[in-house]
Structure 1
């Protein structure tokens, strides 16, 4: 009689037509699904990740990227779980019940507002370094959540700062009141409600149509994603400095556990090394492209670029200070996370360390090397996800 691990591996091999367990060790191609369209920043990063996997595995592993074709964002969690893809660009906030501990940490990213100029322009690199370190080494619950979905955590990335992208000017507390805002996470939903606005939950793939048709008045999103998701075509006014924070719930290379366990230690190490590169590339590129996208919006499309009123900026910072306690309480009451306050307390000095670590970083390659040396190289491929 087959024992459970062997039966599980054989079942997975059938599910994904040979691209798993025994097959991957022989150099078969892994399928990588992401919900972004071809040509976007994340799709380009995924192609670069494929190159890094092949390089670090000495050609034993190859990755084929499927941008917005194999799985969309809403399908990625179950698709990777069930073996429709070997690797998936997971956006965990889309699945609050499945990944509550992970999402709690991602929601806390608005605390970057409180560091001010110390981290300005490098919010994403700082937060992702801290988050990768915390999830790999300090959050057993996070890794259990992934394993419960038949997945293994191997990398994470973020956007640049989140802005208000609207069909009318919204720069003051008064102008926020009554607006309908597409929010990509509970923290931004609470921020909207705090100022009398109504948060609307929509997939990123639906945001353009919602703004164009007046279903929402603003989309809270980063500047590069205005182009990546086509939202820039429906935008007339951008307010750059609120609500702030980064989208940090992007587990960009979550891997099907059956596939992962079918790899050799050296192949898993290669994927972790490639994971350090893509985890650095996406937030770095997003930050580098902020100014470019905003200049195109202003000069080519006639979009009005605003800064928020001083009252709105300070009120936002006060909201963030109070929201750390709210996040812990919310996840305890809604999702049964009993140690949320302790997690945030433990995470804070790690974030402070990473704010300092990235201050002098001046290239994507340098950031990838710091991620590798400080975090990814310390993950044991013989035990992680096994």
Structure 2
């Protein structure tokens, strides 16, 4: 072969390989995902399931490296994602009230579930759908809040219903008077005061010692905390059904905006579909764990009670009135001028989702409903850009 012809073939082959490698680097990408959950927890295990789902959906073009309780803590998540320390991660909105006022307003409405005909086992599942739909499609102010933090919201998650985990029987208004109750958020603190208790703000990780030493009488928590935080060792009585509500203020997979924009439209759609799976699995597993712990409580010599009628009625009255309080608070403290309208807009969406998830019997079925009803309707050619 002539030297010129050989050289020409070498150049062509080299250019071909460069093109292949360039194409690979343009499409194959590893996304870092940070969560404050520890390894082998519901939070980290569901993140690994999300990673598997995204890899499969993208045909291997997108993979996820999960960093549980290492790269970013819960308190570091939002600024860490904003600054590119992680490509994506789990954000608890309540940790960042000034950054996400419109979003936190909706996250504070979870006790509305008690006014709907929803089974406790499906309350959190309904809230995930309603929260996601509202933030994706009905709250441009929320989308702007995320953009201001260089983030894109891609889905929600929620806990199982909150109840009273106590070191003595507390089922009536007379019982609860003066009791010190750990509150997991401002709405539950207001509830505690409204029914005669005293709200105490401490983290759930400190609830064990506080209950054990008598600093607390009850923790307002999900029953899954009997296991996760070993509260079964210091709790003697559980009162289910009050105060109710779930913890629903989470961005299960918030993305750094630059990373999101660098993805192709097909990849953004794949992320959304995998995020629907993520939100379904973590919320389903929380509910399964909560149900299991409640059923196992009698075997651990923990009595499970229903609330007395006077406490139920007082709780119901509080929830109705508290919607007005929430609107006033967010308008006066956070400058959310349309707070009352936002609450009214969210209520029918929540009621719709209570019906949508009513008969769901698996996380796979739940993920499909999330995708079909709201995630798939996000316009990936415009959203987050």
CA offset at residue 25 of structure 1? 4.5
TM-superposed CA distance for 1:269, in Å, is 1.2
TM-score for the superposition, normalised by structure 1: 0.88
Q: SS of the counterpart of 1:83?
A: coil
3-state secondary structure, aligned to 2:121: coil
1:164–1:242 contact (8 Å) kept in structure 2:
yes
Count of matched residue pairs: 363
Query: TM-score with structure 2 length normalisation?
Result: 0.89
CA distance in 1, matches of 2:25, 2:303: 51
| Greater Rg by CA | 2
Partner of 2:53: 52
State the Cα deviation string for residues 239-281 of structure 1 (Å, max 9, x = none).
Answer: 1111001111011111111221222222211110001111112
Q: Is the Cα contact below 8 Å between 2:114 and 2:244 reproduced in 1?
A: yes
2:328 match: 329
Could you tell me how far 1:23 is from its partner in structure 2? 11
Tell me which residue corresponds to 2:15: none
Partner of 1:344: 343
1:222 deviates by: 1.0
Displacement after TM superposition at 1:127 (Å): 1.7
Q: Relative to structure 2, which stretch is displaced further, 159-168 or 229-238? A: 229-238
CA contact (8 A) 1:54 1:62 kept: yes
Task: After TM superposition, give the deviation of residue 84 of structure 1 in Å.
Answer: 1.9
**For residues 14-72 of structure 1, what are the alpha-carbon distances to aligned partners after superposition, in whole Å with 9 as ceiling and x for unaligned?**
xxxxxxxx998543322222122222222211110111111111111111222222222
Residues 1:287 and 2:287 are matched in the alignment? yes
State the Cα distance separating 1:371 from its structure 2 match. Answer: 0.7
Q: How far does residue 219 in structure 1 lie from its aligned partner after superposition?
A: 1.8
Give the match's secondary structure for 1:245: coil
Runs (5+) with no aligned partner, structure 1: 1-21
Q: Give the match for residue 263 of structure 1.
A: 263
Q: Is the 8 A contact 2:195 2:314 kept in 1?
A: no
> Are the aligned partners of 2:135 and 2:142 in contact in 1 as well (CA < 8 Å)?
yes
Cα distance 1:307–1:384, how it changes in 2: closer, same or farther (>3 A)? same
CA-based RMSD of the aligned residues comes to: 2.0
Q: Cα distance 1:357–1:265, how it changes in 2: closer, same or farther (>3 A)?
A: same
Correspondence for 1:80: 81
| Equivalent position SS for 2:239 | strand
Counterpart Cα distance in 1 of 2:289 and 2:150? 35
Where 2:368 maps in the other structure, the secondary structure is helix
Query: Hey, what's the Cα distance between the residues in 1 that align with 2:85 and 2:215?
Result: 33
Q: Provide the rounded CA distance (Å) in 1 between the counterparts of 2:198 and 2:149.
A: 32
Residue matched to 1:111: 112
Counterpart-to-counterpart distance in 2, 1:99 and 1:80: 14
Q: Distance in 1 between matches of 2:104 and 2:162?
A: 17
Post-superposition Cα deviations, 1:53-105, rounded to whole Å, max 9, x if no partner, equal 11111111111222222222222222222222222111111221111111111
